[in-house]
Amino acid sequence: MIGCIGGGDGLRELHTHSDGESSSILTLSIWSEKINGKGEDGPPLVLLSDDRSCGVIAVSDGVGGAGSRQVQIGGELASGAKIAATKLLEVLLVFFKGAWLQPRPPSTAAAQHAPMKDEQAAQTRHEQKGPASDDAGPLPYKDISGSTITKPSAIDGKPSSPGVGTYQSSHQLTPYLVTKVGGCSAYLLNGAVCGPNIADHIDVLSKTIDYAFDKMNREITEAQATTRLKSKILRNLPSTLAGWVYRTEPEREILAFWAGDSRCYALDSNGLRQISRDEAKGNYDAFEAIWADPPLTNYISERTPNNIQRKHLLCDNPTILICASDGAFNYLPTPMNFERVVLSSLSSSETMRDWADNLAARLLAAAGDDISIILHPIGFSSFDDLKDHYRGRLEQLDGDFLGPIKALQDKQAQLERELAAIRAATKETTQEAWSRYRVTYDQYLSEGDSQ
C-alpha cells in the first residue's frame, strides 16, 4: 500500500505491507528533510536476517557546522555532512552483509533455510577464508552503490573475530518492506548468522569506517588540491551515528553503538530508557541539553581513528529498540514528551501503517530539523499485543508525570486568557475615561484659534 503524509517539504511516501495489516509487526522508519533535497541525515538503515534472529538498525546525522563545506566524491557534490551521513550507513550495510553471511549451504531446500549454529558457522567461515585470514591488509569489495570500499580482514595482524569474516557467498540482499515514511535502506539477508560476541562486530566496524572514510577523504582532498581553504574546525566527512545490533538465538544479546548525540533508546513496559550518552561538552542531562544545545566532543569523520561507544543491554522482556537523530527528540519540551508522542501515536493506531502516519505527523509538527528514527519491536506476537503491552505505561505516563504538568499548563492558559481579557477591558475603560476627561482638559486648546 502507498499513502502520503504532508510536511514542511511536501508529500512523503508511506510504504507498508499490504497483507495482515492488523497483526503484522514490522520495523518502523521515519526520515524527513527540513528543506527538501538539503537534508543532512542519511536514510535510515535496517538489515535483518531472513528469520529475524539477528539484525542491525542505524541512523546517521551529518554535523552541519563542521561539515558545511561543499565536497565532491564520486561525481557527487554536496555538503560534507550530507555525504558523510549517507556513506556512513552504506559502509555499515556492506560491513554487516559481509560479517553475517554464511557459506553456500547444501543444495537441499531444507538445509538451505536451516540456521547454522554459531560455532559451526564460525568454523566454516574460517575454513572458507583460508590464507586470506592471515592477511592484515584491507580487502576491497563493492558496496551497493558500486563504489569500492575497503574492509580489514584482521586487526594488528590477528585474524578477524569469529563471525566477522570475509568471503564470497551466493546469498543476496532482498528488500525488506518496513513500515516507513520517507527514505530507508531496508533489506533481509538470507542465511545471516550473528556470532556469539556481537561486541566484536563493533571493534571491526570501527576499523572498517576508518579505512572507508580515509579512502573517501583522499579522493576529496585530491579534488580540492587547488584550493587553499583550511580550517581546524571544518571536516570533510563529519556525521553522528546511533544504532543497535542484536541477536535472539541461542540467547538474546543486544548492543547499542553510537558516536555523537544521535541516541539509542529502549522502550519497555516500564518506560523509555536512554542507553547512549550524548558526546557533547558540559554535564547536561537530557532535559537540560534541549535548551543548552552543547557542541559535540566526538563524531565520525575522516580524522581517524574513529571512536564508537557501545553498551550491552540486558533485556529479556518485549522491547522496542529505538535509534534517532536529534531532530526526532530535541524539539519536544522534555524526554517525557518524546515517549508520549511514541506511545500516544501507537495507542491511537490500528495498524503499523497508521502508527507510522501518526508518529510522523506529530514529530514533524514539532521538529525544526531533519528527522531520522527507527523503531524495532522485539518479542511481540501481533500489533494488538504491541498496543496492549504499552497501554498501562501510557496511563502511568499521563497520570504520574505529564498529567500534573498538563493541569498546570491548562491553568496557566486559563489565567493568560483571563489576563488578556483584563488587559482588553483595561484598555477599553481607559479609552472611555479619557474621552470624558478630555472635554474639560482640551477646553482652552481651541479657544483663540483662527477660523
Domain residue spans in the chain? 2-405
Whether residue 371 contacts residue 30, with contact meaning beta carbons closer than 8 Å, is answered with yes
Q: CA distances (Å), 379 to each of 26, 248, 298, in order?
A: 12, 10, 33
Name the grid cell of 400.
504520574
Strands 239-247 and 185-189: unpaired
Whether residue 67 contacts residue 81, with contact meaning beta carbons closer than 8 Å, is answered with yes
Quick: pLDDT tens for 29-82.
999 999 888 899 999 999 999 989 899 999 999 997 776 788 888 777 889 999
Neighbours of 149 (CB within 10 A): 22
Nearest to 330 by CA among 346, 341, 316: 341
Whether the pLDDT of residue 141 is over 60: the answer is no
Name the grid cell of 414.
486559563
Nearest to 78 by CA among 70, 68, 89, 88: 70
Q: CA distances (Å), 254 to each of 57, 96, 247, in order?
A: 12, 15, 7
Q: What is the pLDDT of residue 224?
A: 66
User: Is the pTM for the entire model greater than 0.75?
Assistant: yes
Whether the pLDDT of residue 120 is over 70: the answer is no
Whether residue 238 contacts residue 248, with contact meaning beta carbons closer than 8 Å, is answered with no
**Cis amide leading into 305 (omega within 30):** yes
Average pLDDT of the residues in 376-395: 95
2-405: CATH topology: Phosphatase 2c; domain 1 (3.60.40)
Nearest to 270 by CA among 315, 311, 324, 322: 315
Q: What is the pLDDT of residue 121?
A: 37
Q: CA distances (Å), 136 to each of 35, 60, 112, in order?
A: 44, 29, 32
Least confident of 19-23, 289-293, 330-334: 19-23
Name the grid cell of 135.
592477511
Q: What is the pLDDT of residue 33?
A: 93
Q: Is the dihedral of CA 331, 332, 338, 341 positive or negative?
A: negative
Quick: pLDDT tens for 143-198.
333 333 434 443 333 333 333 333 344 568 899 989 999 999 999 998 888 877 88
More confident residue, 227 or 124: 227
Whether the pLDDT of residue 282 is over 90: the answer is no
Q: What is the band of 216 on the pLDDT scale with cuts at 50, 70, 90?
A: very high
Mean pLDDT, rounded, of the chain:
79
Q: What is the pLDDT of residue 350?
A: 95
Q: What is the pLDDT of residue 137?
A: 31
Name the grid cell of 102.
554464511
Residue type, 415: L
More confident residue, 128 or 57: 57
Distance separating alpha carbons of residues 61 and 90, to the nearest angstrom: 13
Average pLDDT of the residues in 313-336: 92
Q: What is the pLDDT of residue 271?
A: 96
Whether the pLDDT of residue 102 is over 90: the answer is no
Nearest to 268 by CA among 232, 318, 233, 230: 318
Q: CA distances (Å), 181 to each of 6, 90, 168, 192, 254, in order?
A: 10, 20, 34, 26, 26
Distance separating alpha carbons of residues 29 and 324, to the nearest angstrom: 10
